Amino acid sequence: MATDRIVGIDLGTTNSLVAFMQGETPVVIPGDGGLNLLPSVVALDANNQPVIGNAARNSLIEMPERAVYSIKRLMGRGVEDIQEELKLFPFRLAEDMQPGEVLRIKLGDKTFTPPEISALILRQLKRSAERFFGGPVTKAVITVPAYFNDAQRQATKDAGRIAGLEVLRLVNEPTAASLAYGLDKKQNGIVAVYDLGGGTFDISILKLHDGIFEVIATNGDTHLGGDDIDNLLITIALDDIRGDLGLDLRSNDLRRNAEAVQAIRKAVIDAKIVLSSQPSVKLDIELPGGQRYRREITRNQYEQLIQPVIDRTVGPCKQAMKDANLKPEQIDEVVLVGGSTRIPKVRALVKELFHREPHTDLNPDEVVALGAAVQANILGGGSEATENMLLLDVTPLSLGIEVAGGVTDKIILRNSTIPASATQFYTTQIDGQTNVAIHVLQGERELAKDCRSLARFDLKGIPPMAAGIPRVEVKFLIDANGILHVSAREQRSGKEAEIQVQPSYGLTDEQVEGMILDSFDNAEEDFRQRQLIEARAETTTILTALEKGKKSAAWGQLTTDEKKQIAKMEKSLVAVNAEEDYQAIRKAIDALNQGTMRLAELMMDTAVSTALKGKNMDDTDLGEGPTAPHPMAKAEFE
């Protein structure tokens, strides 16, 4: 059972968590410093080593060009989609980005794809779990917004793989929350989950019946969350500062400005949290140049300001109820998920929409991770608490094929229970045609150009026949993760057609393989390895030179004692060289250097060894790369 340990992970826009089922209850596994929440912030320190979490949050303010937050907003998206995002968030794209290429963003002077950054966060959680269990953790259930499309889901799976985790299942966040809720309540009925997080909004309506959690309808907005509220407040501050103090912090040229913006961001986030319980709050921020920006914000002003953001949740809620064919009265319970649901105005809106007080006793920050842990438990074979539980989720978006006229032909409708499938038949237009191109889309609109391009499939290897004769059966299958799989067969010949997928916004399998974090995985390890290699190279050099020295005339001039000392140090060095501590090896090298100083001097006098010539005799000549100080000369001490 211990080796089958599967963890549940909430990979959130603002915070991430890892949890597991401890007996009959799911619990969050604490990370560094005993904290349950790991801020989804990644930075590179001065040595280009990744830093994740609270330490990275500090980097955001001190070295903003070396840090990134809310990377979830970029997962599974292309350059064309993120133009709005780029205006509101300090994402720095790699300079040589081409349209249609996978996004790459800059941290310092390195570039990373969003899945790689998410992988660093996942790896941190993995380590916390491994430290907690005292053993390896390689399997996980990871949550995604219910409204995430295929590309966004695939990117999340890729991130898991890069982090060294086998992602057994992607679970929709509201569904996961309902698992945590259902485990707790054990009641049948209709439950609506209203999930407003840092960057995404989901509304799901479920039917709970004897342990079966059946999603009836789901809707949402993958670019709506607490971040948008923060940005409104930041904009006010920046406008104030430009107006009153004549300082335009929006220009990205000055590094100081970027730091100031991040400081403002931190201040407004703290302020909005206060406004959930206090009627007003004062901002007081130090700006570059020493001026202070002060402003009081009342809860009234705040609520007026954020109303348009909160109102954006109304449409999806109404559509979900319509799709579910339910009136608010028919819903038994509304569960709130996500930090942003702590805002009183949000709770008021939910009460108005659903005609009842929302259920608030579950921790909105942790409930998704706990639910993921429950699902992890189910996948692992279940336990007494979960033995009757089963999740039946749905696909949030209709799947369609582009047909003549640029129109979308829907083949699997939104809110279909998954796994779900559809079969289509294709034929050729031209005699001897051996390929058929299929463009697959997700979305509800009529025209292909208004839907989300998932991928283009090329069916190859169709036996050449007259036009219109081949009958290619293409099967579209959406699996339990909500990810599409396509297979094809030419019916007359029975031949499996080869399918080449060009994901519209994603990484190919090969690319993911190449990114798998073993090189990353132990970045510290990497550093240590490098030091070790260098130290061992130095050892080889000094021992080689020592051998030469032993054969030289100068050796005879040493006392027996001196020779004994040298032999002892040599033995020491050889022993420690076989181990992994590069610092100990360096110490032993230094000791041997000291011990052979007289020998070196003697050899210099007799000018015997040609190996000595041209080598690092000069203190200031460090040479290139790992420098092995000349063994017979004075050592370079770090």
Q: Which chain residues interact with another protein by CB under 8 A?
A: 4, 168-169, 209-210, 212, 375, 378-382, 390-392, 403-405, 407, 416-421, 477-480
Between 477 and 532, name the residue whose CB sits nearer to another protein: 477
**Nearer to another protein (CB atom), residue 85 or residue 479:** 479
Between 262 and 386, whose beta carbon lies closer to another protein? 386
Instruction: Tell me, rounded to whole angstroms, the distance of Cα 415 from its chain centroid.
Output: 27
25 φ/ψ angles, rounded to the nearest 5 degrees: -125, 140
Closest CB to another protein among residues 405, 556: 405
Per annotation, catalytic residue among 65, 72, 490, 538? 72
Distance of closest approach, residue 156 Cβ to another protein, in angstroms: 18
Structure tokens at 148: 């995430």
- 202 labelled catalytic: no
CB 80 within 8 A of CB 479: no
- Helical residues (DSSP H) of 246-296, grouped into ranges: 255-275
Which residues have CB under 8 Å from 284's CB, separation 6+? 267, 292, 293, 294
The minimum distance between CB 378 and another protein, in angstroms, equals 6
Could you tell me if 600 and 633 are in contact, meaning their C-beta atoms sit under 8 angstroms apart? yes
Residue closer to another protein by CB (options 153, 586) is 153
User: What's the CA gap between 97 and 27, in Å, rounded?
Assistant: 42
Q: Is 207 a catalytic residue?
A: no
Catalytic residue among 195, 202, 228, 230: 195
CA distance 168 to 616: 56
- Of 186, 229, 230, nearest to 208 by C-alpha is 186
CA separation for the pair 268, 236 (Å, rounded) = 10
Return the residue matching tokens 């569960």. 335
Q: How far is residue 254 from each of residues 109, 236, 265, 315, 467, measured CA to CA in Å?
A: 17, 20, 17, 41, 63
Q: What span, in angstroms and rounded, lies between the C-alpha atoms of 6 and 335?
A: 26
CB of 212 to another protein, least distance (A): 5
What Cα–Cα distance (Å) separates residue 524 from each residue in 115, 520, 545?
21, 9, 32
Q: To which H or E segment does residue 498 belong?
A: strand 498-503
* Residue in the block written with tokens 């133009």: 83
Note whether 30 and 36 are within 8 A (CB). yes
The single residue of 150, 173, 490, 570 carrying the catalytic annotation is 173
Residue indicated by tokens 């409708």: 413
The single residue of 10, 158, 230, 259 carrying the catalytic annotation is 10
CB of 220 to another protein, least distance (A): 22
Give the residue with the Cβ less far from another protein, 27 or 392. Answer: 392
Question: For residue 415, is it left (φ>0), alpha (ψ between -120 and 50) or beta?
Answer: left
The amino acid occupying position 220 is G
Q: Is 37 exposed, middle or buried (0-12, 13-18, 19+ CB in 10 A)?
A: buried
30 vs 419, beta carbon nearer another protein: 419
Complex with another protein: residue 388 or 606, whichever CB lies closer: 388
State the SS3 of 549-611. HHHCHHHHHCCHHHHHHHHHHHHHHHHHHCCCCHHHHHHHHHHHHHHCHHHHHHHHHHCCCHH
With CA atoms as reference, report the closest residue to 288 among 327, 255, 316, 244. Answer: 255
Q: Which is nearer to another protein, 45 or 214 (CB)?
A: 214
Virtual torsion, Cα 121, 123, 127, 133, nearest 10 deg: 110
Q: Within 10 A of 519 (CB to CB), how many other CB atoms are there?
A: 11
> Which H/E stretch holds residue 107?
strand 105-107
Q: Residue 591 and residue 599: Cα distance in Å, rounded?
A: 14
Q: How far is the CB of 380 from another protein (least distance, A)?
A: 7
Shortest CB 167 distance to another protein, Å: 12
Least CB distance to another protein at residue 101 (A): 32
Do 134 and 3 contact (CB within 8 A), yes or no?
no
| Min separation Cβ 407 and another protein, Å | 6
**Tell me, what amino acid is at 430?**
I
Residue 228 annotated as catalytic: no
Looking at this protein, which amino acid is placed at residue 126? Answer: K
Q: How many whole angstroms separate alpha carbon 628 and alpha carbon 431? A: 70
Closest distance of CB 59 from another protein, Å: 39
Of the pair 74, 420, the CB lying nearest another protein is at: 420
Cβ 102 vs Cβ 506: under 8 Å: yes
Name which of 209 and 460 has its Cβ closer to another protein. Answer: 209
**Shortest gap between Cβ of 109 and another protein (angstroms)?**
43
Least CB distance to another protein at residue 504 (A): 24
In the residue annotation, 605 being an active-site residue is answered as: no
SS3 517: coil
What positions carry a catalytic annotation?
A: 10, 72, 173, 195
